[in-house]
Structure 1
Amino acid sequence: PPRHVHTGSVATALDPGAGTVLDLVRSLREQATVSYDPNVRPALMGDHARAVRQAERCVALSDVVKASDEDLRWLYPDEAPRDAAERWLRRGPAVVLLTEGAAGATAFLPGSAVSAGAPPVRIADTVGAGDAFMSGALHALASYGLLGAEGRAGLRSLDTTVLGDVLRHAVASAAVTVARAGALPPDREELDAALAGGSVPER
């Protein structure tokens, strides 16, 4: 059985598939942690009010949620993205990650927040940046033993030092990806090089 389930975007927004995905997530929650990224695609989201309800259902089922400021501005045009992220946190996730492009990212925990700046990089292609950010975050969480049902208690008591390192991995992964064309996320060697401040080999 899976230890972690990640979902989002159109798979959770459009029926009939969205209902199937949510049912699957519900059935796996006892044995797996869950992460969610709305990855909003406005032209494909359908009715706005329904899309908001669906996103909030997914948030409530998730342990880790990641959203961009653009995602949250589309979902909640009258609310600041940071306020929306904090409100999502109160719906049940252990942590909500908010990306803000070149301004970096912030991770919200109950009662605290940690921010990380985006590394300076010459941007070649922004496609895949969000996915790379999320994969970097999940990689770091897994390395700390914080994914899977057995890791949920630790995830719920995450401290800001560990969370800062998770953010560092996430923004480094995204930086490698946007520095080259083709939505190519880093492998382990490239991520380690980026974290160490070294050059990233081209692919």
Structure 2
Amino acid sequence: MSTGALVVGEALVDEVVTDSTVSRYPGGSPANVALGLARLDVVTRLHTMIGDDSDGELVRRHLADSGVALTPESATDRPTSRAIATVGADGSATYRFALGWEPRRLEALGDPAIIHTGSLGAFLEPGSGVTLDIIRRGRAAGALISFDPNIRPSLIVDADRSREQFTELALASNLTKLSDEDAEFLFPGTSIESVVDRLVDSGIAVVGVTLGSGGAILASGTHRAHIPADAVTVADTVGAGDSFMAALIWSITVEDGGWDGHAVSESRLLAAGTRAARAAAITVSRTGADLPTLSDLRAVSPTR
């Protein structure tokens, strides 16, 4: 019987720089999603690259404390990657990176019900080929596939190639979520509504686009749901999209009786989007990518 989630992609250390402080936190978009799923009581494994160094130990402890298991193949003799996030006065973050992505092939997938990937692990070569191989094998084995491109333009060498990679992974997925910034990079000059329609028409069962303070749009088949953002005092935006993604996966695939991979009703889209927006609001109210637990999420009432 299929169970739990397998997440594929980078794990790293975020150095968060403000005018007055420099703080270090475990991060990486796929690792954050893995942590978010585990904190929502989903049994979760992460396939990544973590070095045998102090940064790697920080990441390992952080993931283990929330119940995320690493695949044995995640160990590497390379340095653990870093992302330097500079936080502006409005709480928004810009990034630069010191990283590599050359994961080992994962021979045995196990039998996960959900496989998620995204961000650098989906686009950065040579490891992007390993990621796509896992997604294709998982889809063929019946896993539900989720994908969040989380584009980092400063790391994209070939924009056209990255758009091809996005298309390959998006068409292999059941659930694809992107930000409005991702949408502009991938589909320049195209309206958000048209991007959503294009992705749904391509056969993706559920599509989401986050719009920052403008909330989000979720779509499935002919159904559309517009999700307002929760009102919250922002500490920083690190991990906000990852928190939304983890809660969306959990809400669609676990809550309300689960999901068969087909079109989702408008009422379920609205419920899932509301939970995901609530999770993102909790995260941005905290410093760093400190994603909510299931009890956190259920204890907070949204403020619209």
Q: 1:144 aligns with which of 256, 268, 272?
A: 256
**Distance of aligned partners of 1:23 and 1:117 in 2 relative to their CA distance in 1, 3 Å threshold:** same
> C-alpha root-mean-square deviation of aligned residues, in Å?
1.4
Q: Please report how far the alpha carbon of residue 144 of structure 1 lies from its aligned counterpart in structure 2 after TM superposition.
A: 2.7
Identity %: 35
1:42 is aligned to: 153
Once the 2 structures are TM-superposed, how far is the Cα of residue 118 of structure 1 from its aligned partner?
0.4
Q: 2:194 maps to which residue?
A: 83
Please identify which structure carries the higher helix content. Answer: 1
TM-superposed CA distance for 1:197, in Å, is 4.2
Aligned residues: 191
* Counterpart position of 1:108: 219
Write the letter of the residue equivalent to 1:131: D
**1:41-190 matches, cutoff 5 A:** 41-141=152-252, 142-146=254-258, 151-152=259-260, 155-190=261-296
Counterpart residue identity of residue 130, structure 1: G
Q: What's the counterpart of residue 14 of structure 1?
A: 124
After superposition, the C-alpha distances for 1:121-159 in whole angstroms (9 at most, x for unaligned) are 11111010000001111121212343xxxx43xx31311
Unaligned runs of 5+ in 1: 199-203
Query: Match for 1:33: what amino acid?
Result: L
Cα 1:145/1:31, change in 2 over 3 Å = farther
CA offsets 1:82-112 (integer angstroms, 9 cap, x no match): 2112211222210101100001011012222
Tell me how far apart the structure 1 counterparts of residues 277 and 223 of structure 2 sit (CA, whole Å): 19
Name the TM-score, length of structure 2 as normaliser.
0.61
Which amino acid in structure 2 is aligned with residue 158 of structure 1?
Answer: V
Q: Is the 8 A contact 1:121 1:179 kept in 2?
A: yes
**Is residue 2:139 matched to residue 1:24?**
no
| Deviation larger for 125-134 or 181-190 | 181-190
One-letter code aligned to 1:10: L
In 2: Cα distance, 1:108 partner to 1:143 partner: 18
* 1:28-86, Cα deviation, whole Å (9 max, x unpaired): 11321000000000011220111111101111000000000011111222211221122
TM, length-normalised to structure 1:
0.90
Gapped regions of structure 2 (runs ≥ 5):
1-110
What SS does structure 1 have at the residue aligned with 2:142? coil
What is the alpha-carbon distance in structure 2 between the residues aligned to residue 144 and residue 17 of structure 1?
35
